Structure 1
Amino acid sequence: MVKPVRSLSTIFHDISSGKEPAFNELFTAYYEKLILFAKYYVKQKEIAEELVSAFFVRLWLKRAQLSTVGNPAGFLYSGVKNAALNHIRDQQKHNIMIREQEAGELFQFPENSDAAKTVDQKELQEQLRKAIAALPEQRQLIFRLVKEDGLKCKEVATLLDLSVRTIENQVYHALKSLSATIRSYLGYLPK
Structure 2
Amino acid sequence: MYNYYHKKLIAFSQNYTKSIELSEEIVEDVFVKVWFKRERFSEIKNLNVYLYTAIKHQSLNTLSQEARRLVTESLDITEHDLHGGNNSPHDLLVTSELMQSVQTAINSLPPRCKLIFQLVREDKLRYKEIAEILNISVNTIDTQMAIAIKRLCSSLNIQSDTVLSKSILKKN
Range into which the TM-score falls when normalised by the shorter chain: 0.5 to 0.7
Identity fraction in percent: 24
The amino acid across from 1:46 in the alignment is E
Does the C-alpha gap of structure 1 residues 66 and 150 become closer, same or farther in structure 2, counting only changes over 3 Å? farther
- Higher alpha-carbon Rg: 1
Structure with greater contact order relative to length (CA < 8 Å, sep ≥ 6): 2
How far did residue 133 of structure 1 move? 3.1
* 1:77-116 residue CA offsets vs partner (Å, 9 max, x unmatched): 0011111011101112111211212337xxxxx949xxx7
Write the distance in 2 (CA, Å) between the matches of 1:32 and 1:91: 23
The amino acid across from 1:41 in the alignment is Y
Q: What's the TM-score, normalizing by structure 2?
A: 0.54
Write the distance in 1 (CA, Å) between the matches of 2:58 and 2:68: 15
Write the distance in 2 (CA, Å) between the matches of 1:36 and 1:150: 29
Matched, 1:87 2:62: yes
* 1:35-80 residue CA offsets vs partner (Å, 9 max, x unmatched): 0001111111111111101111111110011111122110010011
Write the distance in 2 (CA, Å) between the matches of 1:71 and 1:48: 22
The ranges of structure 1 where at least 4 consecutive aligned residues each deviate by more than 6 angstroms after the TM superposition are none
Q: Which runs of 5+ in 2 are unaligned?
A: 80-91, 108-113, 121-139, 157-172
Write the distance in 2 (CA, Å) between the matches of 1:140 and 1:77: 22
The amino acid across from 1:147 in the alignment is L
Task: Indicate the residue corresponding to 2:119 in structure 1.
Answer: 134
- Structure (1/2) with the larger helix percentage: 2
CA RMSD of aligned residues (A): 3.3
Matched, 1:144 2:149: yes
Q: Which runs of 5+ in 1 are unaligned?
A: 1-25, 105-109, 152-191
Secondary structure of residue in 2 paired with 1:103:
helix
Superposed, 1:1-191 pairs within 5 Å as: 26-103=1-78, 111=93, 131=115, 132-134=117-119, 137=141, 138-149=143-154
Write the distance in 1 (CA, Å) between the matches of 2:93 and 2:14: 42
The amino acid across from 1:102 in the alignment is I
Q: What's the TM-score, normalizing by structure 1?
A: 0.49
The amino acid across from 2:29 in the alignment is A
Does the C-alpha gap of structure 1 residues 68 and 50 become closer, same or farther in structure 2, counting only changes over 3 Å? same
Secondary structure of residue in 1 paired with 2:59:
helix
